[in-house]
Each structure stands twice: as structure tokens, then as C-alpha cells.
Amino acid sequence: MTRQPISTENYQSLLQRYETAKKTADSFSGGWEWKRQMSEAYDNMDWAWLSNLCSGVAVAKEEHEQKSIGNARVLPQRELTPRERLDLARRKK
């Protein structure tokens, strides 16, 4: 993994997004895995991965809320874990 340098301005912006994303992750049951991965990306200084996770957590929360509504005629299916979704997204690139 190559660490890309990041400007102070971009770092401050990303840090603000990270703080917001952590609060979003705390607001739904599947968010703990997103929060763990964001922490891992931050610790590894993988800014691109952290940025992608910060963007994806809001979408994941919406998907979680939509699936929580449910439909009596549709059998529930296992959701992809955040790691599986991330691996799938990486394979599509």
C-alpha cells in the first residue's frame, strides 16, 4: 500500500468528513464495521480509502434504513458486509 501525501487543507477537510462519518456510523446497527474500517484507514494513513469510506457510510445507512422497512412478500436475504461491499467495489475498478 502506497501512502500518498496529502495537503494540510485536504487533510483538514478529510478529518471533518471523518468525524461526521463516525457519527453517521454510530447511528445505525451496521455502522460499527464502517467505523472500524475508517479507523483502520486513518491509522494506515490511507487517505483515498478513508475518503471512499466516508462517502459510502451515508449510502450504507440509507440502504440499511430501506431494508429495515421490509416487505412481507419478499424473503429477507443476507446483506453484504461492508468488507464484502468494499471488496466488490475494488474489483469493479
Q: Residue 4: inside a domain, yes or no?
A: no
Q: Residue 14: inside a domain, yes or no?
A: yes
Q: What is the pTM of this model?
A: 0.67
Q: Residue 25: inside a domain, yes or no?
A: yes
pLDDT at res. 90 = 83
Q: Mind listing the pLDDT tens digit of every residue in the chain (93 residues)? A: 556 678 999 999 999 999 999 999 999 888 999 999 999 999 999 999 999 999 999 999 988 888 777 665 655 567 788 888 888 888 875
pLDDT at res. 37 = 94
Q: Residue 50: inside a domain, yes or no?
A: yes
- How many distinct structural domains can be found in the chain? 1
Q: Residue 71: inside a domain, yes or no?
A: no
What helix, strand, coil percent values describe the chain, rounded to 5? 70, 0, 30
**CA atoms of 70 and 56, how far apart (whole Å):** 22
Q: Residue 1: inside a domain, yes or no?
A: no
Q: Residue 72: inside a domain, yes or no?
A: no
For residue 57, give its domain range: 9-66+78-92
pLDDT at res. 46 = 93
